[in-house]
Structure 1
Amino acid sequence: MFHTGLRSGTAVQAADESAPDSELYFQRCRWCHTTTFQRLLCPTCGSTDLAPELSGGEGVISVRRGVAAADNDLWPVHMTEGFVVRCRVDGPPHAVRPGVRVKVSGAAASGRRPVVRLCEEVPLDGWY
């Protein structure tokens, strides 16, 4: 059985959360232990022996470069396990920027891209 991507989790919720937690699966190469997301081959050694693993779901927003207009709402997120996944970020526009910690919160309406929420409040920094 091969799992990658998001799968809805249980409906266990914290008091301040409105959406159920979700599970994010990534792949780890059994040969060189490189982590990746939704690939057929290991990006390091080219092996096809990739094992699915459950991510902790936490990461940090990274810098975007060369963003097409169609992908303007997607941000690269470096997950703690070492792989990068492009996500939709649920949060106020002033707070969505590189260096902000995020956690997986669900799947997008299309079911293709993970949705992450901010782990901390980000101040306006004097800009309105």
Structure 2
Amino acid sequence: MFHTGLRTPGAVRTEESAAGTDLYFQRCAWCHTTTFQRLLCPTCGSTDLSPQLSEGEGVITVRRAHTAADADLWPVHMAEGFVVRCRVDGPPHAVRPGVRVKLASAADTGRRPVVRLCEEVPLDGWI
């Protein structure tokens, strides 16, 4: 069962948390590894994964091989320790590894989460 953009009973929402910006990840009850949308823990293989609400902050990481269809997706290492591929909302020159991002909208059915740049990235003369 995946929990992306869904509210769980008892989830606390802050005033700055708007509808549709909740991102849930999973934490293994045995080894405490965090993961995103898995059936088994990638470390110990346990099925005892509990959904938890992400803070929504992370850093863009290095993109390995990608297809033309996935050209606008970037891996984002979230503060809780899991990695999720996201669409990045920002100027193309600023989207690169090491830039801090914050969740703009959570994934709907069949869609990827959207993140926004946290700080302004200056032009570096390449454009």
Q: TM-score range by the shorter chain?
A: 0.7 to 0.9
Compute the RMSD of aligned alpha carbons.
2.5
Contact 2:26 2:51 in 1 (8 A): yes
Question: Which residue of structure 1 aligns with residue 57 of structure 2?
Answer: 58
Contact 1:13 1:20 in 2 (8 A): no
> Aligned AA for 1:34?
T
- Superposition TM-score, scaled by structure 1 size: 0.85
CA distance in 2, matches of 1:13, 1:85: 22
Please give the secondary structure, in 2, of the residue aligned with 1:5.
Answer: coil
Q: What residue ranges of structure 1 are gaps of 5+ in the alignment?
A: none
Higher strand share: 1
Q: What residue ranges of structure 2 are gaps of 5+ in the alignment?
A: 8-12
Contact 2:104 2:116 in 1 (8 A): yes
> Aligned AA for 1:105?
A
Q: How many residues align?
A: 123
Question: Which residue of structure 1 aligns with residue 42 of structure 2?
Answer: 43
- Superposition TM-score, scaled by structure 2 size: 0.86
Which consecutive aligned stretches of 4+ in structure 1 deviate over 4 angstroms post-superposition?
A: 108-111
Q: Percent identity, aligned pairs only?
A: 74
How far is 1:21 from its partner?
6.6
Structure 1 residues 97 and 71: alpha-carbon distance in aligned structure 2, compared to 1, 3 A threshold: same
Question: Which residue of structure 1 aligns with residue 123 of structure 2?
Answer: 124
> Aligned AA for 1:92?
P
Question: Which residue of structure 2 aligns with residue 75 of structure 1?
Answer: 74
Please give the secondary structure, in 1, of the residue aligned with 2:23.
Answer: strand
Please give the secondary structure, in 2, of the residue aligned with 1:97.
Answer: coil
1:69-120 deviation line (CA, Å, top 9, x unaligned): 1100000000000000000000000000000000001146765210000000
> Aligned AA for 1:82?
G
How far is 1:4 from its partner?
1.7
Alignment of 1:14-33 (within 5 A): 22-33=21-32
> Aligned AA for 1:44?
T
